[in-house]
């Protein structure tokens, strides 16, 4: 949303240029946030592979575009380059010379092989920041292993914490390890660029799906590593230690309630007409309610089943943190998205009108310019012109295989 007091102010990242050797979800999710904040993100796509694999992921996959690809790549630029080709490599270095960062989400052993590291590029640009996002990092015996969100959720313990007790381990309904690592990589990129602009010297920055997912274990990791306390799965998505902090069935659906402060428990018992529960010494404190959760929760569950979700929301909103458990269609209500300035809507030459969720940062003086994602190599001519190549030089690069096999 524009701030009327700051007319014409540049986007926060308008001076940032990122060369992104990226594909699929995790890497492009991180640079999507940078692009929405005004950064110039130039995708380097492999012509031999048909570009970013996300272009062919359904639904809506058509002529090198898809709704999946749109979700991660709006507002970026694209050039198809063969980084294993001498001419392609030379053109890539010309782009790097004018960039702030090189960002990739390739397998951990590939950045070194393709020359995407600081050692390989510092002679071209001493201030370049080289960010690598991989499954298991650029070092160690697993560096050459590919990895995906579901695998990471499985082996870092996420799946063991998700789902109902007694049910099979479950992956989150969203690829949260991908998204968290994309954001971690973008954060690392900005930290590196800030330092490089201060010192004139760039560096390597390495993150991985595995390490980020481990970091997301947060307090549950602290419990286990410090005291051997294992967080068990609880019914209805209940918090492992705070009670009540979970979903409850109502007469027509579900409601989420979060009593993360003592005052909220007192407000809840008053709001649902069970005053005596907050006066019971077995439920007096966080520790008491945790110890006696099996005695407390049946009382709450029975009361919530007596009325509708909307009726409970009317009684509890403003007093107790609560929310309806919505389906996707209701959560993505267009009017609600527009009211929160969270609707990204634009026209696409192949897909027609594309609607998605927008930038989750509201920055004064900046309104994101949502634009269609690039076609494969669609910005090649403009980028080469910006680098000073004439038509003859471009033809020579093409004949030499810079943009793929002639």
The answer to whether the CB of 83 falls within 8 A of the CB of 110 is: no
Which of 21, 23, 19 lies closest to 148, judged by CA? Answer: 23
In a shared domain, residues 344 and 311: no
Quick one: pLDDT at residue 232? 86
In a shared domain, residues 47 and 99: yes
Compute the C-alpha angle 50/56/59, nearest 5°: 165
Give per-residue pLDDT as tens, 325-334.
999 999 999 9
d(CA 124, CA 93): 7
> What CATH number does the domain containing 366 carry?
3.40.50.10540
- Catalytic residue, from 36, 52, 149, 178: name it: 178
- Assess if residue 225 is contained within a domain: no
pLDDT for 189 beyond 50: yes
Compute the residue count for the chain.
Answer: 406
In a shared domain, residues 307 and 348: no
> What CATH number does the domain containing 313 carry?
3.30.1540.10
pTM of the model: 0.94
pLDDT bin (cut points 50, 70, 90) of residue 263 is very high
Quick one: pLDDT at residue 7? 57
In a shared domain, residues 120 and 78: yes
Quick one: pLDDT at residue 329? 95
**Number of separate domains in the chain:** 2
In a shared domain, residues 348 and 280: no
pLDDT for 165 beyond 50: yes
Domain boundary among 324, 351, 375: 324
Which of 329, 321, 211 lies closest to 255, judged by CA? Answer: 321
In a shared domain, residues 314 and 353: no
Neighbours of 186 (CB within 10 A): 25
In a shared domain, residues 209 and 275: no
Domain boundary among 294, 324, 354: 324
Q: How far is CA 139 from CA 54, 112, 145, in A?
A: 27, 11, 11
Query: The domain containing residue 300 runs over which residues?
Result: 235-249+254-324
Quick one: pLDDT at residue 406? 83
In a shared domain, residues 342 and 368: yes
Question: Would you call the peptide bond into 398 cis, given omega within 30 degrees of 0 as the criterion?
Answer: no
Quick one: pLDDT at residue 82? 97
Quick one: pLDDT at residue 6? 56
Quick one: pLDDT at residue 9? 82
Which of 248, 244, 264, 247 lies closest to 320, judged by CA? Answer: 264
In a shared domain, residues 192 and 240: no
Quick one: pLDDT at residue 213? 98
Domain boundary among 290, 324, 358: 324
In a shared domain, residues 67 and 122: yes
Percent of the chain at pLDDT > 90 equals: 95
- Assess if residue 9 is contained within a domain: no
pLDDT bin (cut points 50, 70, 90) of residue 321 is very high
H or E segment and range at residue 315? helix 309-316
- Assess if residue 12 is contained within a domain: no
- Assess if residue 122 is contained within a domain: yes
- Assess if residue 224 is contained within a domain: no
In a shared domain, residues 278 and 387: no
Average pLDDT, the chain: 96
Quick one: pLDDT at residue 8? 65
Give per-residue pLDDT as tens, 98-141.
999 999 999 999 999 999 999 999 999 999 999 999 999 999 99
Quick one: pLDDT at residue 42? 98
pLDDT bin (cut points 50, 70, 90) of residue 314 is very high
- Assess if residue 10 is contained within a domain: no
Quick one: pLDDT at residue 60? 84
Give per-residue pLDDT as tens, 37-93.
999 999 999 999 999 999 999 998 988 999 999 999 999 999 999 999 999 999 999
- Assess if residue 230 is contained within a domain: no
In a shared domain, residues 40 and 184: yes
- Assess if residue 8 is contained within a domain: no
Quick one: pLDDT at residue 194? 98
The verdict on whether 178 is a catalytic residue reads yes
């Amino acid at each position: 949303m524009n701030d009327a007091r700051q007319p014409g102010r540049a986007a926060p990242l308008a001076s940032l240029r990122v060369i992104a050797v990226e594909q699929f979800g995790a890497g492009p999710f991180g640079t999507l946030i940078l692009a929405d904040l005004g950064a110039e993100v130039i995708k380097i796509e492999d012509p031999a592979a048909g570009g970013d694999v996300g272009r062919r992921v359904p639904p809506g996959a058509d002529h090198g575009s898809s709704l999946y690809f749109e979700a991660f790549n709006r507002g970026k630029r694209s050039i198809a380059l063969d980084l294993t080709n001498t001419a392609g490599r030379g053109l890539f270095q010309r782009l790097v010379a004018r960039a702030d960062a090189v960002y990739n989400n390739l397998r951990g052993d590939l950045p070194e092989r393709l020359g995407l590291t600081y050692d390989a590029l510092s002679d071209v640009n001493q201030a370049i920041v080289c960010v690598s996002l991989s499954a298991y990092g650029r070092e160690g015996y697993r560096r050459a292993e590919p990895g995906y969100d579901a695998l990471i959720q499985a082996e870092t313990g996420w799946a063991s914490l998700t789902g109902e007790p007694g049910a099979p381990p479950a992956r989150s309904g969203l690829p949260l390890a991908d998204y968290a690592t994309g954001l971690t990589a973008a954060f690392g990129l900005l930290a590196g660029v800030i330092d490089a602009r201060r010192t004139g010297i760039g560096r390597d920055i390495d993150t991985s799906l595995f390490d980020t997912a481990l970091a997301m274990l947060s307090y549950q990791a602290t419990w286990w590593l410090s005291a051997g306390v294992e967080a068990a799965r609880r019914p209805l998505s209940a918090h492992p230690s705070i009670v009540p902090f979970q979903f409850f069935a109502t007469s027509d659906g579900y409601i989420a309630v979060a009593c993360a402060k003592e005052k909220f428990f007192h407000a809840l018992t008053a709001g649902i007409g069970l005053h005596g529960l907050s006066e019971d010494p077995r439920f007096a404190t966080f520790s008491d309610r945790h110890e006696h959760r099996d005695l407390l929760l049946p009382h709450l569950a029975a009361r919530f089943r007596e009325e509708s979700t909307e009726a409970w929301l009317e009684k509890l909103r403003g007093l107790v943190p609560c929310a309806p458990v919505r389906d996707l269609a209701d959560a993505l209500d267009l009017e609600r998205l527009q009211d929160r300035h969270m609707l990204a809507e634009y026209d696409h030459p192949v897909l027609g009108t594309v609607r998605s969720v927008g930038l989750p940062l509201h920055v004064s003086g900046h309104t994101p310019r949502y634009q269609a994602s690039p076609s494969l190599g669609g910005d090649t001519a403009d980028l080469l012109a910006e680098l000073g190549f004439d038509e003859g030089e471009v033809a020579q690069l093409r004949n030499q295989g810079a943009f793929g096999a002639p």
